[in-house]
Structure 1
Amino acid sequence: MGITSPALDPSQPTGLLLDGAFDQRNEDLAVTNPYSGETIATVAVGGPDDVAAAVDAAMEHLPPPPAAERAQVLERAARLVAERADAFARTICLEAGKPLKQARAEVARCVDTLTFAAVEARKVAGEMVPMDASAAGAGKLGVIVREPIGVVGAISPFNFPLNLVAHKVAPAIAAGCPVVLKPASATPLSALLLARTLGEAGLPPGALSVVIGGGGTVGNALVDHPDVPMISFTGSPPVGWDIRQRQPRKEVALELGNSTPVIVEADADLELAATKLAASGFTHAGQSCISVQRVYVQERAIDRFRDLFVAAVGRLVVGDPMDERTDVGPLIDDDNRQRVVDWIDEARDSGGEVLTGGEVRDRLLMPTVIEGIDPSMKVSCEEVFGPVVGLASYGDIDQALELANSSPFGLQAGIFTARADAALVWARRLHFGGVLVNETPTFRADQMPYGGVKDSGNTREGPRFAVESMTEPKLLVVALPQ
């Protein structure tokens, strides 16, 4: 059990983080490089008893330390992550298969997330209640204070193994909530490295625990624990909504999937749109909740856009994620690669035309563009989570908006047009949590509210918005002397 890749930080933790110490277990789990198929490390696997111990340790940190102390921990952690950016980026690249330049961008975003959370820690505040606005309240002072909701159970996915962990842990620290984290089994190393860094930054032992294991064991134990009043989950819609149904009395924050649509009007800057969408549709091999998946182009522009887009996709470098030049790397595992290939074949059999890609070379699924998608195809109505973008033309904007809204998902969408005033009107008709105009909907800045509607979830992430969901209002009323 331990590190087997010389490219990893030699001090990389591989044990469960319990009460401030990294503990090994008899059972271990291999962490595999998705590009080479080689084992880069083995990590300890926990179980329900470890979750119970982690929750017990977390409860010792309520009430929390003062806000200034929590902010200082986050500020120091941000500095440490920035100083160790290369080690974090290599870890992300090796365990997730994310190209190194994209892994570096994730590390920079993690620094932002920690920094914004530190700001929020100093801003947690309530408000005055105008008690004398009614005769019954005369002579009384009313104040609302915000208190931590309690222990937060955090369940994070594989595709952003550092920054999506930070988006759960950092706001919880800011809010004063201790955390028990279950990272994705495929990519636990980045989470462990961040947890160690937070400890070095001064986070008290037990305020954050990391328990690695399966959803049916560790995940269920965390979701069902009676002393965990909040679950923050990022992952698949079926699992997320099952958690919400099982725990109706808990705060369950869900950030789920999408089948991201983009509308390209004939008056848009087609070269700009093609370049941005080619890059964002295939970043991390399309393994992002907001990867561009469906592009609807006004019929007068489809021929020109098609040529520009396919050419831009053809310029993407596909290969070893550790190569500085690489734009597109592997999918997380063989099963997911085969699933995406099957969906491409289904689209082709249903009348779609594969303009480029569609084949596997050396474990890598080549960036794929399919023209003629329709809402019945899996590559349109479901989340591909792979390097596939579909094209279709439309006649008028009403048809385009209907096509974009035809998905059960509603995370983010995009519009490219020269008419900003019209775009604002159309954006109101798109049933999504966020709409980007003349920008790819794969864009995310870490301080903005991020989340969806419909099957895409029920929350908004970003430190300010997560802190709000992790705190509860308490009313204090004081009778003033007459």
Structure 2
Amino acid sequence: MTVTSFWLAGRPAAGDEELTVTHPLDGRVIGTAAVPTPAQVEEAVAAADAVRAEAAALPLHVRAEALAHVSKRLAERAEEVARLITGENGKPLLWARGEVARAVSTFRFAAEETRRWSGSTQRLDTDPAATGRIAYITRVPKGPVLGISPFNFPLNLAAHKVAPAIAVGAPIVLKPAPATPLSALLLGELLAETDLPAGMFSVLPVPNERAGDLVEDPRLPIVSFTGSGPVGWTIRDRVPRKHVTLELGGNAAAVVLPDADLDHAAQRIALFSNYQAGQSCIAVQRVFVDRAVHDAFLSRLVAAVEGLVTGDPWDERTQVGPLVSEAAAERVQAWVDEAVAAGATVVTGGRRDGAAYAPTILADVPADAKVACEEVFGPVLMIRPVDGVDAAFAAVNDSAYGLQAGVFTRNLDIAFRAHRELQVGGVVIGDVPSYRADQMPYGGMKESGVGREGLRSAMADYTEEKVMILTGLPL
């Protein structure tokens, strides 16, 4: 099998070791990736540092055209890329194709935002001492970016690191997840087709145990990390003087109120508790239903969950495939078993087959069970009746996490109250918390992280304001 090169300062390279990528469902080999040596990692970081001034000075049209090229090429190779994602990640083709479409949009949005990336002016003669003075304000890169992307969206979450960096003229070193490096390496291939200068990007599939050297390297003053909370907060603690953006976990809640369309809510919650096999930080995990409609809703939810098509991710009809590994499925099973031992009831599901876990609904879950207070990251949801809006919102907020929440209601007053009171980074009215538009600000509160993604937001996050004052002007 051909070994896929990694990208070292914009050129393909081979290391001394290789990383074998296997399919989660059946273990067959999907591909092999070259692993950079420590000396090659040093070369990549040195190149990013050396090109930082040239990168910051790149004309906007050069950056925008590079980003538009990647968007165009991803669209042209969409089916190939989707099958690569399904191969290394195990997500069904249905969702892999959706991920590619989102990445196409992510790079397109970045190209559009780049062309709008401009300075502003501020008259200073509002004070007599500043007569004849005006300020020209721009945003400049803080420096090269270290992007660390996870396995669950191996293409689009890598895109959310790379695209805003290029947009603002910041070199980036991308470290993809070891389980799913191939999508990111293909992204490097498309970037290499552009006119970006050497050193502007590197894609380095280094093992996680070697990532600490990259995190601590002072030549990479920005760290953008998406992944588990313990790892993310450890990164922030290790480099307190760096600018660190963390997109971490969640245990996303959906609230179903009496005025909701119960059929619609059940279908949406069933699907988006289990899409990506629940391996999304905004997959529905906790469902709080007004007691007045709880029983009617539960019957609809059970029917919707049991109606999902599970199985082979290569099957066009499959909606729920395997988790990323058998070990991940075993952990989910252990958490469910623990909850059941503490008094929870399995309404449906609760079965494991290798790396696959059946879509599962739990009731009567104790508040301190892991499936209630931690991030399951698997196809499991818990449902609980609540008495009114006050109780529902209090239940949502009774969590260490605060990424997104969904509220099924037609009441505009309740919608604005949810936006004001729920301790989350985003509130979705009339739908599940799993909705994300790639151009919008996205991020969490509390243990769900710091900073925001979404192209314009990430571009601001990677930069800082710089002011030039012009003096003696006839304003």
1:100 to 93, 104, 107: 93
Matches within 5 A, 1:229-378: 229-378=221-370
Q: Which moved more, 1:179-188 or 1:132-141?
A: 132-141
* Residue pair 2:326, 2:354 contacting (<8 A) in 1 also: no
How far is 1:365 from its partner? 0.8
Answering whether residue 433 of structure 2 is matched by residue 464 of structure 1, we say no
CA distance in 2, matches of 1:427, 1:338: 37
**Runs of 4 or more consecutive aligned structure 1 residues displaced over 6 Å after TM superposition:** none
CA distance in 2, matches of 1:462, 1:481: 38
CA distance in 2, matches of 1:265, 1:388: 21
2:402 to 373, 394, 410: 410
TM-score, L = length of structure 1? 0.95
1:35 to 5, 8, 25: 25
Q: Which amino acid aligns with 1:157?
A: P
1:205 to 198, 202, 224: 198
1:52 corresponds in structure 2 to 42
2:435 corresponds in structure 1 to 443
Gaps of 5+ in 2: none
CA distance in 1, matches of 2:37, 2:252: 36
Q: Which amino acid aligns with 1:143?
A: Y
Identity of aligned residues (%): 48
How far is 1:169 from its partner? 0.1
Answering whether residue 171 of structure 2 is matched by residue 171 of structure 1, we say no
How far is 1:319 from its partner? 0.7
2:214 corresponds in structure 1 to 222
1:7 corresponds in structure 2 to none
2:107 to 114, 117, 132: 114
1:10 corresponds in structure 2 to none
Q: Which moved more, 1:62-71 or 1:150-159?
A: 62-71
* Residue pair 1:92, 1:103 contacting (<8 A) in 2 also: yes
Q: 3-state SS of the aligned residue for 1:28?
A: strand
Q: 3-state SS of the aligned residue for 1:300?
A: helix
CA distance in 1, matches of 2:414, 2:276: 32
Give the number of equivalent residue pairs. 471
Q: Which moved more, 1:346-355 or 1:356-365?
A: 356-365
Gaps of 5+ in 1: 4-13
1:68 corresponds in structure 2 to 61
Q: Which amino acid aligns with 1:236?
A: S
How far is 1:51 from its partner? 2.5
Answering whether residue 377 of structure 2 is matched by residue 395 of structure 1, we say no
* Residue pair 1:374, 1:392 contacting (<8 A) in 2 also: no
* Residue pair 2:62, 2:196 contacting (<8 A) in 1 also: no
CA distance in 1, matches of 2:393, 2:183: 39
* Residue pair 2:14, 2:36 contacting (<8 A) in 1 also: no
Q: Which amino acid aligns with 2:410?
A: A
CA distance in 2, matches of 1:42, 1:402: 48
Q: Which moved more, 1:422-431 or 1:302-311?
A: 422-431
* Residue pair 1:141, 1:478 contacting (<8 A) in 2 also: yes
* Residue pair 1:106, 1:163 contacting (<8 A) in 2 also: yes
Q: Which amino acid aligns with 1:356?
A: T
* Residue pair 2:343, 2:366 contacting (<8 A) in 1 also: no
* Residue pair 2:11, 2:192 contacting (<8 A) in 1 also: no
TM-score, L = length of structure 2? 0.97
Q: Which moved more, 1:305-314 or 1:208-217?
A: 208-217
1:83 corresponds in structure 2 to 76
